[in-house]
Amino acid sequence: MVLSWSKGRGGQEPADGPDMSVERSNGSSRRYFVLAPHSTSRWVPSLCALTMTTCLAAAANASQAVNADHGASVDVLDAIVVTSTRSGSARGSHAGNISRLDGEQVESVQADHVQQLVNRLPGVNVQRGNGQEHLTAIRSPVLTGGAGAGSFLYLEDGVPMRAAGFSNVNGLFDAFDSLLDSVEVVRGPGSALYGSNAVHGMINFISRAPAQEPEALFRLRFGPHGRRHVLTTASSGFGQRERSKAVRASYSLAEDGGFQDQSGFSQHKFQLRHDFATAADTAFLTLSAMNLNQETAGYVQGRDAYRNDLLRKTNSHPEAFRDAWALRGALHWTHDLNERSQLSVTPYARVNHMQFRMHYLPSQAIEENGHWSIGLQSAYRQSFGQGHKLILGADLEYSSGYLSELQTDPDIFSFEQGLHYDYSVDAINLSPYLHASWSLADSTELTTGLRLDYTHYDYDNQTADGYFGSKGRFLRTPDRSDRFLALTPKLGLSHRFSDDLSGFLNLSRGARAPQATDLYRMQFNQVPGEARAEVLDSIEIGARGRIAAIQFDVSAFHMKKKNFFFRDANNENVIDGRTRHYGLELELFRTLGDQFDITVAGSYAIHQYDFDRDVGDPNNNIASGDDVDTAPRTLANARLGYMPSEDLRIELEWMHLGEYFTDPGNQATYPGHDVFNLRGTWDVSDTLRLSAAVSNLFDVRYAERADFNQGVDRYFVGEDRALHVGATLRF
């Protein structure tokens, strides 16, 4: 593949083969914008409470009239969403939760990391690692390893960006997230149209369609420590009479010298979309590519190390790196058979490769992995009139993946020298499904669904069978095949109480086959073939609509999960864990007169272990009823917007993360944090927009992620206050 076009940050070519050199350096210059002393962090929580109280009080006393522009952009009932049924439908008719950020919101944020986008939605807690790395929580604790990779479905126009058994825990960095039509998030299991990995939730990135009239955009943005981001896109339509065609090409380049020593990244993304339509057919083709070269900074270690200015910018693992590339293509075609029936077919293909140092493990081995896939999504849609609709379909996919894990440095961890694993896996996924909507009355709709997911793995061990290492930790199982079958029913009920209020009840099951790494990167305490499909049962009830001038979407949920596969504090794999989850999620939007508006997204949720496990350490023993580690009970994102004119908008954002336990035994904690950001955009003319943002406005010392490992507190450090400026030209 001719995709790894970028060299390493230190000017070196990416490492290649088992004798690769992984010594990296980073000579990037670093610049910081420090605007106030650190002591302000002590009164940030008080200011936060005062700000929100003031805003809500203002909302209660403001005019009852809804500003037409603001209301149209966020209408909670009439907004069109596509993730529900893979076609456009009103959000108000969706029997379950679904949240959405439109393209204008994406553009106004101008995110340096996808976390800054999706964490604006309720129940979402993406924790940023170093560079472009991250771990995800959607209606869940922050999950790691195979659970972190396999519990969430990341989609591009409804097509998974990775194969189900070969997911990447950092998979969101594949998305072309700088220019979008919208981002949609479903919390908890998806509908019957989505299968493996749509367990705790899914994120669908919907690409920006090309325009019929010629247009172009160029954006340049600068930030701290040499950060710069370039985005360019061009679009035009052509065609005549009953045929129309349009094409859009977009390119993004992000570079960062790194907040910590000897860190930073360079990431290229490209997307091409071609749309075609006739009287009976609509189709669009997408081609997406991504290349990442990253010098990775490890955790800073020690109690409250993220507060220590002598430690927070250090890099304990300057040799760590991550190089990755991905290429995806899909053709979305829909043919109108008649006025009431349609046939949709989406063939797709993907290929990706990644190589990185596992600096977070004692061995710090080099892992190399990748896979390629071809697949087909198909659906037949039939409308019977009077609100009755039926979708019958099947998804088919073939994937071939590989993984190797090599440790060659005797100075790091001597007893684990050599090739730990080297294997390939071929996988077949076949998933027929049924989704039906039935109109029980003029205002009541019943949604039913059933999906069958069949997964077949063929595993080929390419090194010696048996235990490896002086302590026999690594188990290379002989060649084998494994099969998994999961049946996931869905039942939803929605009712329109009035023009301004609808409610829903949703019962659903999510399930996923184990990741290939769960099955074949085995440890000494495992037995081949004993891992089972993870299953989560969910019930939620909610309402959305408008009361006076307040638009809202609220839902309550309860979920139970079994066969939870994870690695405990003794570095031993657990195959039969159980957890339970329940909570409340809320979205609010309110205009405050003609110039102000407020948006609030928040959640209160409890995520607990539902089984016992004694590992001989109070910090790491698991007891039923204990909170799962890295599961803050409170999450909130609130934005106060001010528009003194149509050309100028200023937004103050509050990000709240509650306290959470960092160890399974609930002995160690991270206190949480409150961080404010200030951003603004000014449309100088029809062709020029200027933007500026101050991140971490009050220069709070906080951790993006905290955990407790082998008796040590570890943190990924949140960045200091910084100024970001940019300009956008439109033609």
Mean pLDDT is lowest, of 199-208, 241-250, 497-506, 600-609, for 241-250
Radius of gyration of the chain (CA): 25
199 in a structural domain: yes
Check whether 262 has a pLDDT greater than 50. yes
Mean pLDDT is lowest, of 293-307, 363-377, 405-419, 696-710, for 405-419
Mean pLDDT is lowest, of 101-105, 190-194, 615-619, for 615-619
CA distance 538 to 554: 16
The CATH code of the domain that includes 107 is 2.40.170.20
pTM: 0.89
Give the dihedral sign, CA 30/676/202/177: negative
By the 8 A CB rule, do 550 and 568 touch? no
- Report which of 311, 300, 262 is spatially closest to residue 707, judged by C-alpha positions: 300
101 in a structural domain: yes
pLDDT score, position 128 = 95
380 in a structural domain: yes
287 in a structural domain: no
Q: What share of the chain is helix, strand, coil (3-state, %, to 5)?
A: 10, 55, 35
Q: Which tops the pLDDT comparison, 665 or 39? A: 665
Tell me the average pLDDT across 506-528.
Answer: 91
Tell me the average pLDDT across 642-647.
Answer: 96
Q: Tokens representing 507?
A: 């019962």
> CB-based contacts of 309: which residues, under 8 Å, 6+ apart?
none
- According to DSSP, the residues that pair with 287 across neighbouring strands are 272, 329
CA distance 610 to 333: 45
Check whether 442 has a pLDDT greater than 80. yes
Type of residue found at 602: G
Check whether 377 has a pLDDT greater than 80. yes
- The single-letter DSSP state of residue 124 is B
Tell me the average pLDDT across 139-148.
Answer: 94
Confidence of residue 7 (pLDDT cuts 50, 70, 90): very low
pLDDT score, position 66 = 35
- Report which of 203, 202, 197 is spatially closest to residue 513, judged by C-alpha positions: 197
pLDDT score, position 387 = 83
237 in a structural domain: no
Q: Name the residue range of residue 472's domain.
A: 80-208+372-730
pLDDT score, position 19 = 36
Tell me the average pLDDT across 485-495.
Answer: 96
By the 8 A CB rule, do 323 and 8 touch? yes
pLDDT score, position 42 = 35
Tell me the average pLDDT across 700-709.
Answer: 95
302 in a structural domain: no
> CB-based contacts of 92: which residues, under 8 Å, 6+ apart?
76, 77, 78, 496, 502, 544, 545
pLDDT score, position 710 = 83
202 in a structural domain: yes
pLDDT score, position 412 = 61
Tell me the average pLDDT across 74-82.
Answer: 80
For residue 579, the surrounding DSSP H or E stretch is strand 573-592
The total number of structural domains that make up the chain: 1
pLDDT score, position 55 = 38
Q: What percentage of the chain exceeds 90 in pLDDT? A: 75
The per-residue b/e assignment along 124-153, b for 16 or more CB within 10 angstroms, e otherwise, is bbbbbbbbbbbbbbbbbbbbbbbbbbbbbb
Phi, psi of 457 (to 5 degrees): -110, 135
Q: Tokens representing 720?
A: 């200091």
Give the dihedral sign, CA 305/310/311/313: positive
Mean pLDDT is lowest, of 75-79, 147-151, 180-184, 369-373, for 75-79
- On average, the pLDDT of the chain sits at 88
pLDDT score, position 241 = 58
Confidence of residue 411 (pLDDT cuts 50, 70, 90): low
pLDDT score, position 575 = 87
Confidence of residue 413 (pLDDT cuts 50, 70, 90): low
27 in a structural domain: no
* Residue 234: Cβ-neighbour burial (10 angstroms; 0-12, 13-18, 19+): middle
pLDDT score, position 536 = 97
pLDDT score, position 681 = 96
CA distance 249 to 70: 30
pLDDT score, position 70 = 38
- Report which of 458, 356, 354 is spatially closest to residue 399, judged by C-alpha positions: 458
Q: Scanning the structure block, which residue is given the tokens 């594949």?
A: 174
Q: What percentage of the chain exceeds 70 in pLDDT? A: 88
Confidence of residue 527 (pLDDT cuts 50, 70, 90): confident
